[in-house]
Amino acid sequence: MRIALIGYGSVGKAFARLLESQRKRFPFRITAIQTRKYTAYDPKGLPIDPEWGPPASVPEFLDKAQPEVVIEITSLNPVDGEPAISHIRAAFARGLPVITANKGPIAHAYASLRAEAAAHHILFRFESTVMDGSPVFNLVRNNLPGVTIHGISGVLNSTTKVVLAEMAQGRSLADGVRLAQEMGIAEADPAYDIDGWDSAAKTAALANVLMDANVTPQMVERTGIGAITPEEIQAAAAAGFVITLVSRAKREADGSLTLTTRPERLPEDDLLANVDGTSNVLLLHTDLMGTQGIVSVTPGVEQTAYGLFADLVDIAQQL
């Protein structure tokens, strides 16, 4: 199966390594890569460090690459999800299935992308957009038939967890951000994490896909952690509470959706307060299956790459 990658950063390279390691069982080949500055093509399959040629627009690239699947992994534009949304539409326009690890399109334009994919009978997968590749969307689709999700709660941003843990030790927010950057987990602009935009985008993506919402991150009631002091965290800890950035989506009795991302003061034995380090936790509140929890333990770029791979296997089985 011929794969075209749009974007080739750390996730793309981890994905290329993963495909190499699984080649015997899964005959997938990356035959084209496009970045902002370069392109590379080889219908027999590209090496992890390919020889780069001149740049091309995404439509030019796709027309030359002639892939069977397109993987969109450009870096996130948190404001409106572009240009990733246009990249996906360019693939759809050519009848090509798309996998993305980019939460922008799912947080900003899922309802219309879903409709476009359905109208053209094209598969569209995005497992790695919210929980670093842990089964969330595929879990609900494959394993929870008949279930209605009426609420979601989660601690979904690793950077704020690291920062708040540092502040609990008496260090400053800036110290915490520095540590998260050293660990390689903070977004390019850490304000995107600290101000709650990353968590709000994940909340919107989850609500769009799992609760049939049609919202954007801007529609999530959002408070970041910028105003929290080390003293506040330490006073909470002394009283048996943990302050953490929690994302929630809830279907109200009147059918409306309430979406929030904000620091919450949780009892220290609350599951949401209790998943340490960079690990994330997501709880799905359902009608038939009670509450179902998913924990992504110390996720890294390899997990995100694996989520792309799982989506690829899913698409390959259906083509």
Distance, C-alpha 255 to centroid of its chain: 26
Q: Is 83 in the site for a copy of itself (CB under 8 A)?
A: no
Contact 105, 85 (CB under 8 A): yes
Task: Candidates 122, 244, 309, 315: give the one binding a copy of itself (CB under 8 A).
Answer: 309
Binding segment toward a copy of itself, per CB under 8 A, in 48-56, 67-75, 174-182, 299-307: 299-307
Contact 206, 154 (CB under 8 A): yes
**Structure tokens, 33:** 């890569």
Q: Is 303 in the site for a copy of itself (CB under 8 A)?
A: yes
In the chain, the N- to C-terminal Cα span, in Å, equals 10
Binding segment toward a copy of itself, per CB under 8 A, in 63-71, 186-194, 221-229, 304-312: 304-312
Contact 58, 74 (CB under 8 A): no
Q: Is 111 in the site for a copy of itself (CB under 8 A)?
A: no
Contact 126, 138 (CB under 8 A): no
DSSP per-residue codes, 178-247 = HHHHHTT-S-SSTHHHHTTHHHHHHHHHHHHHHS-----GGGSEE--STT--HHHHHHHHHTTEEEEEEE
Q: Which residues are catalytic?
A: 202
The CA-CA-CA angle for residues 201, 284, 139, to 5°, reads 90
- Give min distance, CB of 22 to a copy of itself, in A: 5
Binding segment toward a copy of itself, per CB under 8 A, in 3-11, 87-95, 173-181, 281-289: 281-289
**Structure tokens, 290:** 């009670």
User: Based on CB atoms, which residue is closest to a copy of itself, 156 or 215?
Assistant: 156
* Site track 138-157 with a copy of itself (rule: CB under 8 A), x = hit: xx--xxxxxx----------
Q: Is 243 in the site for a copy of itself (CB under 8 A)?
A: no
In angstroms, the CA 131 to CA 154 distance is: 10
Task: Candidates 45, 59, 83, 135: give the one binding a copy of itself (CB under 8 A).
Answer: 135
In angstroms, the CA 28 to CA 152 distance is: 35
**3-state class of 151 per DSSP?**
strand
- Give min distance, CB of 193 to a copy of itself, in A: 21
User: Based on CB atoms, which residue is closest to a copy of itself, 197 or 309?
Assistant: 309
Q: Is 289 in the site for a copy of itself (CB under 8 A)?
A: yes
Contacts of 26 by beta carbon, 8 Å cutoff, 6+ apart: 19, 309, 312, 313, 316
- Give min distance, CB of 274 to a copy of itself, in A: 4
User: Based on CB atoms, which residue is closest to a copy of itself, 116 or 212?
Assistant: 212
User: Based on CB atoms, which residue is closest to a copy of itself, 259 or 315?
Assistant: 315
Site for a copy of itself in 10-49 (CB under 8 A): 18, 22, 25-26
- Give min distance, CB of 133 to a copy of itself, in A: 7
Contact 73, 99 (CB under 8 A): no
- Give min distance, CB of 277 to a copy of itself, in A: 9
User: Based on CB atoms, which residue is closest to a copy of itself, 22 or 75?
Assistant: 22
The contact set with a copy of itself (CB under 8 A) reads 18, 22, 25-26, 133-135, 138-139, 142-147, 269, 271, 274-276, 279, 281, 283, 288-300, 302-303, 306, 309-310, 313-314
